[in-house]
Amino acid sequence: MLKRGLMQLCVGGLVAAFMFLPQEGAAAAQRKKPRTVQPVAKQALAKKAVVKKTARPKLVRKVVAVAPPRPSYGQLAGLHGMQDELDLKSSVALVVDQDTNEVLFSKNESAVLPIASITKLMTGVLVSEAQLPMDEIITITQADVDTEKGSSSRLRVGTELSRGELLHLALMASENRAAHALGRTFPGGLQVFVTQMNIKAKLMGMQDTRYVEPTGLSSKNQSSAKDLATLVNYAHSDPVLRELSTSTGYQVAVGNRTLQYNNTNRLVKNPSWDIGLQKTGYITEAGQCLVMQAKVAGRKLIMVFLDSAGKLSRIGDAERVRKWVETNHTPGVRPAPLASREHARRG
């Protein structure tokens, strides 16, 4: 009986032990099973993947080479390297007392350079002296369109204006099509007009001067400061040229439009200046140019500034000269008298 009880006890213990084994095995298997990614983590990874796919590509900056501005003829000749006591930005300058012919200031005055729209002053001289009817209507044609520099104009092909209006715009606002139309409609045509420009220059003693067209757009229109001082002195004798070149503004009716033009020289509006005649000019080859007749410190002066660097530098140079003359009246060299209007007419 004792042995049977011991055997039942052992068998019962074994059965109990085996009943617990499967549960422990399942737990162990559960512990060995790899961990799964939680739903939140899955969403985060998904968002990260989407962001990575839709990320913008990096911008590639292209470096565009900008060509340096073309030098003027004066720069190519090294004229800007010359220093002067007034520290002018113009490579060529000349200041002459109109009454005494005294040279008060000079800088490279004999250098021959392109003169840009200073050309229009000679254009005005010829048109005015020809005594053509100023009320005659002239039509702007395709021939007046700039093919030299491709510059624009508000005077469209087909515009009709009087000769007087065109002369006003050419001298005051430096209108290229206006100047070209004046030369084109001159008796004999454009080539005759250009020939007369050169003949007139020689009669006035302007030996360094050459013209190939009436606007100044061509760099082949060239002169020296000495010659241009002669031209300013001569043109100043004409009341029409004085009035039109110093006009501050002018309106012209073109079809249903009214065009407002202003003087290219801001000094004509400056009350501290008394300007009797003026003309500005600019093309790349010539730089910024300015010629004037003005009263400064009680003296009638002729000023020439050529090949100035910078848009406002020619104005700044004129201001420097004016202040210098007001405080310094030291006379310079006396040159030969400037050509008179009567002498040129006799020639």
For residue 144, what are the contacts with CB-CB under 8 A and spacing of at least 6?
155, 157, 177, 180, 181, 184
224 in active site: no
Catalytic residue selected from 89, 107, 120, 200: 120
DSSP code for 248: S
User: Of 206, 251, 247, whose CA–CA distance to 230 is shortest?
Assistant: 206
Note if 90 is an active site residue. Answer: no
Whether the CB-CB separation of 312 and 177 falls below 8 Å is answered with no
Q: What are phi and psi of 89, to 5 degrees?
A: -90, -10
User: Which residue has 């002169």 as its token pair?
Assistant: 223
User: Using DSSP, how many helices (H) and how many strands (E) does the chain show?
Assistant: 11, 11
Pair type for strands 299-308 and 287-296: antiparallel
- Which one of 174, 218, 219, 308 is the catalytic residue? 174
Catalytic residue list contains 174: yes
Whether 299 contacts 259, CB under 8 Å:
no
Catalytic residue among 106, 117, 128, 224: 117
Active site amino acids: 117, 120, 174
